Amino acid sequence: MRFFPLQSGNRRCLRFTLMELLAAVALFAVLGGVLVRLYGNLQKAYNQSIRLAAMAEDARSVFALLSRDLRLSLTREDDIPGCSIKIHQPSESEIWFVTANDATSDKGASLLEVSYRLDGTTLERAEVDDSDPSWNPYGDRDDASQEAGFQPVIDHVMSFSLTCYDSSLAALIPDQSTQAPAMVGVTISLMDDKSFAMWQRLGTSTERDEYAKKMARVFRKMVQVPAAQFTSL
C-alpha cells in the first residue's frame, strides 16, 4: 500500500496559528460567560417569582379574612334602649367593630367583637364572643389593644393601614361611631421569609428602611361594606 504525502496546500489547511487559537478560546469564554449570566438571570427571575407568589398568597389570606369580617360588620343606633353598636378606629393600623357570627353552630351569640392591629411586624386579630367575660358589643373601646384574645394572622408585615370611606367616597375616621363606612381601603406591605431575616440583621433604622423599600411589596384592596342585617341577641 502506498501513502501519498499531503500537498503543501492541504498541510496549510490543517494548521492553526496561535492568534486563531486565542481567538477561539476568547470566543468560547465569551459564550460561556453569556450562558452563565443567562442562567443566573433565569434563576434570579425564578426565585423572584416564587418570592412574589408567596407574598401575594399571604396578602390574599389577609384580604379574605378581613373582607369577611367587614362585610358582616354592623352598626346601629339604640339597638336596645340606650345602647348602640359602634365601630372605632383608634389609629390607621387598628380597628374595632362588631360583626355577625357566621358560624354554622347554633351555640354562641349572634354578634362578635372583632379587632385588628399591627403589633411590631405581626398583624393580629381578636375575636370575642359571649363566652368571654369581656364581651360587650355595646361598649366603647378607647384602643383596639384593650380587646382580649389577639392571635397572629401573619408576620413579616412592614406596614398595615385601613382607610374608611363614606358613601360619597369621602375619607372618614370612625370614632365610637354608629356610622358604618361604605368602603374600607386596606393596604399591607409584606416581605418574604428570606428578605425579612436579612432585614432583621441590619443594624440601623436607615438601613432597614432602605432595604424595606427595595424588598417589600405593597398590596391593596377595597372592601365594600354592605348595609348589614343581623339577628337580635
Q: For residue 132, what pLDDT is reported? A: 79
How would you classify the pairing of strands 157-165 and 171-172? antiparallel
Residue 104 host element (H or E): none
Q: For residue 145, what pLDDT is reported? A: 57
Residues in the chain predicted with pLDDT less than 50, given as ranges, are 3-4, 14, 104-105, 228-233
Question: Which among 94, 86, 80, 158 is positioned nearest to 126, based on CA atoms?
Answer: 94
Q: For residue 34, what pLDDT is reported? A: 78
Directed axis angle between helix 193-201 and helix 18-71, to 10°? Answer: 100
Q: For residue 232, what pLDDT is reported? A: 39
Q: Which three-class secondary structure state does DSSP give residue 25?
A: helix
Q: For residue 230, what pLDDT is reported? A: 38
Phi-psi region of 40 (alpha: psi -120 to 50; beta: other; left: phi over 0): alpha
Domain ranges of the chain: 18-47, 54-224
Q: Label each residue of 32-81 as H, E or C.
A: HHHHHHHHHHHHHHHHHHHHHHHHHHHHHHHHHHHHHHHHCEECEEEEEC
Please write the tens of the pLDDT for every residue from 213-222: 999 999 999 9
**Contact predicate 112/149, CB 8 Å:** no
Please write the tens of the pLDDT for every residue from 13-36: 545 677 777 777 778 777 877 777
Q: What is the pTM of this model?
A: 0.75
Separation of alpha carbons 194 and 51, rounded Å: 9
Q: For residue 229, what pLDDT is reported? A: 40
Rg (CA), the chain: 31
Q: For residue 149, what pLDDT is reported? A: 75
Residues in Cβ contact with 183 at an 8 Å cutoff, skipping those fewer than 6 apart: 164, 165, 169, 222, 223, 224, 225
